[in-house]
Homo-oligomer: A and B are copies of this chain.
Amino acid sequence: MVEHTQTLDAVFGSLADPTRRDILKRVGRKELSVSKIAKPYNVTLAAISKHLIILEKAKLINKHRRGKQQVVRLSPTALKDASEYLRRYRKIWEERLDRLEVYLIKKK
């Protein structure tokens, strides 16, 4: 499997903001309209709208209209790819960690 650099940039960039991480968490539980998403945060709707655009570009969520509302939910496919990457990444890191620990023990 190939690493899609651009995708990873967008996914990790999305995760770099606490509001966006929180939005992902909440939207993962239950799909929500834009204004419901915005409610808990002390920022304007426009600010949340921008966060959602960033998450959408990263393909972590998608929106569809339901009447007056825009309903937001986690995007299954892209989420799967991201999740897959995170797992591989973690494995690689942990391998390295193991090697580092061995190294540190040797030095003692």
Which A residues fall within an 8 A CB radius of B? 5, 8-9, 12-13, 15-18, 21, 25, 28-29, 73-74, 76, 79-80, 82-83, 86-87, 89-90, 92-94, 96-97, 100-101, 104
Contact = CB atoms under 8 A, between A and B. Distances in A.
Instruction: Give the oligomeric copy count.
Output: 2
Contact of A28 (B17, B86, B87, B96): B96
Given A5-B18, A16-B16, A28 B93 contact: yes
A94 B83 CA distance: 7
A74 B86 contact: no
Given A8-B15, A12-B16, A76 B104 contact: yes
29 contacts: A5-B18, A8-B15, A8-B18, A8-B21, A9-B16, A9-B17, A9-B18, A12-B15, A12-B16, A25-B92, A28-B92, A28-B93, A73-B100, A74-B97, A74-B100, A76-B97, A76-B101, A79-B93, A79-B96, A79-B97, A80-B97, A82-B93, A83-B93, A83-B97, A86-B86, A86-B89, A86-B90, A86-B93, A90-B90
